[in-house]
Amino acid sequence: MTEDRLLLDVMLGKLATYLRMCGYDTLYAQEEGVEADDATRRLAEREGRTLVTRDRELADQTDGAVLLTTREVGDQLRELAEEGFAIELPEEPKRCSVCNGRVDRLGEGDPRPEHAPDGIEPIWQCRECGQHFWKGSHWERVTAIVGAATGDSNP
């Protein structure tokens, strides 16, 4: 298993969004239609993913699992950082925060979404779901939470 490929159990949906924004290839069990512990464990093994969970019993039964003890996403990011995970936002997004697909930066001639603020650049688009992303107020909030989790006031 590798820490770059993660599977988060059904209790960690919000964390999945943050880890995707940090560049991790992150599956969320609920999005995969998986809830039961045995199915979650099998999915992690089959996909070669590190399981991240708040379920002590599931963590104990899964090789290489990471057990989180906190409920708030900022605290969970801190716990992962303490476990050695690189919790930081890349300069250029790599993953779609919605579906985990890869994102590409739009080129100069590529059509922009109508709902994007005027003059915003750069814009990225998910190869899988088509979602568009740019660094707006949401990015600033996420940057603050990630910075607080890692003790970096200027992430």
Cα–Cα distance, 120 to 100 (Å, whole number): 23
Decide if 47 contacts 34 (C-beta within 8 A): no
> How much is the pTM?
0.92
What would the pLDDT profile of 64-92 be if each residue is shown by its tens digit? 999 999 999 999 999 999 999 999 999 99
Q: Where are the alpha helices (DSSP H) in the chain?
A: 13-21, 37-47, 56-60, 73-82, 137-150
What would the pLDDT profile of 16-57 be if each residue is shown by its tens digit? 999 999 999 999 999 999 999 999 999 999 999 999 999 999
